[in-house]
Amino acid sequence: MSDTQRIRYIDAWRFIAVSMVIVSHAIYSICLRFLVETEAIVLRVSHFGNLGVLIFFFISGFVICRGLMEERAARSSVSLKAFYVRRAFRILPPLWLYLATLALLAGLGVEGITPVHIGKSALFLCNMSLLGGCGWFAGHTWSLAYEEQFYLFFPLLFVVFGLIVRPKILLVMQLLMVLAFIGLRTVGLYGLAEYLNYMILMLTGCAAALYWHRLSGVCRGLSVSSWLTALIVLIACVGWLPSPMELYIRMVLYPPLIGLLVLGTPVSHPRVRAFFQNPLAAYLGKISYTVYLWQQLATGQYPTLSLWWTLIFIVGVWLFAHFSYQYFERPLIGLATRWSNAIKQRALAGRATGFAQ
């Protein structure tokens, strides 16, 4: 399986993940709108939305680590400055555009949006429960906070510990984090335990990238029946396990299951390939970041509008994300790539000069 194919169906998984989030938010909004007494159903639906975020986390870890590995293989080193330039240009401009829109709506008096919420979101602090919530319209950026905090420390670990030649260090780190999770929940520090839970998902993606030379054969040879079994087990855990038990299962079982589902997608099967290597599904996955940002506005509570407007807003989000990606984000991604390459070229030239001397 070529890298192009691999990335293509990872993008299809991004499309699936963001769709899970949108559906869960829409159902939650509808239930609140009609004051439906279905708290248990809403809770389960939110779990499936959270599962979509966990899929995003695993993919982020895998893709980021693979990119660092490819850079090191090509240049014998990794430029952290170039990495942070690429990440900043990809993450920040779409987020700032969304937050600027929230600031405008707050100025127009839309309820539920405050400068405090916007500020915490801009600083990637919406995952810090001790600082209070970020409301509905900025609250979903808790996931971006985890990712950005991960991006800050993982490249440093990659370089300092030389993970590409010593990947076992990462496995030991994950084991210690699992033990810490159990200990923190035992003493009632649930917020810190949850923090470790999400970080472990991203680190599992990194571990899969580091051990891909060993895992690729297993993933490529996974049968459709085995893949579907893993999918059914994951859905059963999310949908039916009691919440306290599900938290522990999420820590231990979800990371390998999600990894197996994503990386083991059996695209050799015609029906599976028809979706996961479909160019439209791949493209929708590419624009999923912008969709994720703006779907929160589409699924918000608007008592004076009919529910049809929610559907219209959701369709509008996908259309907006398309134009945003084509005319706003892609040019910035290209600029970041050129700047990143220039940084790496200067670093190589500096090393060559040092060798010459």
What is the tens place of the pLDDT at every residue in 104-136?
999 988 888 899 999 999 999 999 977 788 999
In a domain, residue 70? The reply is yes
Count of the separate structural domains present in the chain: 1
Q: What is the mean pLDDT of the chain?
A: 89
On the CB side of 106, CA atoms within 13 Å amount to 18
Mark 44-80 as b/e (b = at least 16 C-beta within 10 Å): bbebbbbbbbbbbbbbbbbbbbbebbebbeeeeebbe
The region that residue 132 occupies, defined by phi over 0 for left and psi between -120 and 50 for alpha, beta otherwise, is left
| 164 is a domain residue | yes
Mean pLDDT score, 279-284: 95
d(CA 142, CA 120): 10
Residue 190: predicted pLDDT: 87
Question: What pLDDT, on the 0 to 100 scale, is given for residue 1?
Answer: 42
150 domain residue, yes or no: yes
350 located within any domain: no
Q: pLDDT digit string (tens) for 159-187?
A: 999 999 899 999 999 999 999 998 998 89
Is residue 226 domain-resident?
yes
Give a yes or no: residue 356 inside a domain.
no
Q: Are 174 and 207 in contact (CB under 8 A)?
A: yes
**pLDDT-based confidence at residue 4 (cuts at 50, 70, 90):** very low
Does 357 map to a domain? no
pLDDT at 176: 95
Residue 122 near residue 96, CB atoms below 8 Å: yes
Please give the residue range of the domain that contains residue 216: 3-344
Q: Which residues of 284-305 are buried (b: 16+ CB within 10 A; e: fewer)?
A: bbbbbbbbbbbbbbbbbebeee
CA 97/CA 256 separation, integer angstroms? 35
Tracing tokens 């779409």 back to the chain, one arrives at: 94
Query: Is-contact 182 142, C-beta < 8 A?
Result: no
CA nearest neighbour of 295 among 31, 19, 54: 19
324 belongs to a structural domain: yes
